[in-house]
Amino acid sequence: MSDDTRHTPDDGDLVAATGKIPVPEEVAEAVRTLLRWAGDDPTREGLRDTPQRVARAWKEYCAGYAEHPEVHLARVFEEVGGYDEIVLLKDIPFQSHCEHHMAPIIGKAHIAYLPRDHVVGISKLARVLHGFARRLQVQERLTAEVADCIWHNLRPQGVAVVIEASHACMTARGVRTPGVAMVTSRMMGVFRDDDRSRKEVLALMGLS
């Protein structure tokens, strides 16, 4: 018998062969417990692989815990022809999960800043958003974390973040009220201190 046939696959082999991370048995068992508690039979065929799927899905929903979103703001560009007006990334779709019910939060964000000397690659603002959104959140903290990250790492003259989202814990359960959007905002620097700048950025976001 060759070494290969006696070989027991380990975690590295599983990742290499399927691209899937291994799921610890205690995590799978926790999902089985939840399935039983919900009223179903985790041994029936359709649910047999569900614990692994659910566990991997949660790793994906919560991938932000393994990220440091500020790294996306490390590379800046200074040759912008003296551009010193608002930069806005509008209608960025995102998904998060509320920390109270672990239910989806689905919405869009508008992220703006007024540069000081340098700008950042525009995709990086969306990367910062997703880095914080892929965690268990409340919308207020998500809004604040995105704004603070840009403020402290880019050191711009102003930051404005507005998030509009619907919470499945309100639409699919509990009060069961669909069609409701929660709106949160964080204004920093000139957008907080200067009425004209704040009005300008809100108008660009289509919110006034």
Catalytic site residue from 52, 67, 101, 118: 101
Q: Which residue is nearest to ligand GTP (CB)?
A: 174
Pairing of strands 136-137, 87-98: parallel
Alpha-carbon span 37 to 184, nearest angstrom = 35
Residue 169 assigned to a binding site:
yes
Q: Smallest distance from the beta carbon of 173 to Zn ion, in angstroms?
A: 8
Instruction: Check if 110 is active-site.
Output: no
Residue 62 assigned to a binding site:
no
Residue from 30, 76, 169, 182 touching Zn ion (CB under 5 A): that is 169
Residue from 98, 129, 146, 187 touching Zn ion (CB under 5 A): that is 98
Instruction: Check if 139 is active-site.
Output: yes
Per the CB < 8 A criterion, the answer to whether 154 and 117 are in contact is no
Q: Which of 163, 179, 77, 63 minimizes the C-alpha distance to 118?
A: 77
Residue 101 assigned to a binding site:
yes
b/e map 154-189, b = 16+ CB within 10 Å: bebbbbbbbbbbbbbbbbeeeeeeeeeeeebbbbbb
Q: Give which of Zn ion, ligand GTP, none residue 140 binds (C-beta under 5 to 8 Å, depending on kind).
A: ligand GTP
Catalytic site residue from 29, 60, 95, 99: 99
Alpha-carbon span 71 to 87, nearest angstrom = 20
Q: Smallest distance from the beta carbon of 121 to Zn ion, in angstroms?
A: 33
Q: Which residue is nearest to Zn ion (CB)?
A: 169
Give the DSSP H or E segment for 139.
helix 139-154
Instruction: Check if 100 is active-site.
Output: yes
The residues that touch ligand GTP, with contacts defined as CB under 6 A, are 98, 100, 138-140, 167, 169-170, 174-175
Q: Cα angle vertex 69, ends 118, 171, to 5°?
A: 120
Binding site for Zn(2+): residue ranges?
98, 101, 169
The binding site for Zn ion (CB under 5 A) comprises 98, 100-101, 103, 169
The residues carrying an active-site annotation are 98-101, 139, 167, 169
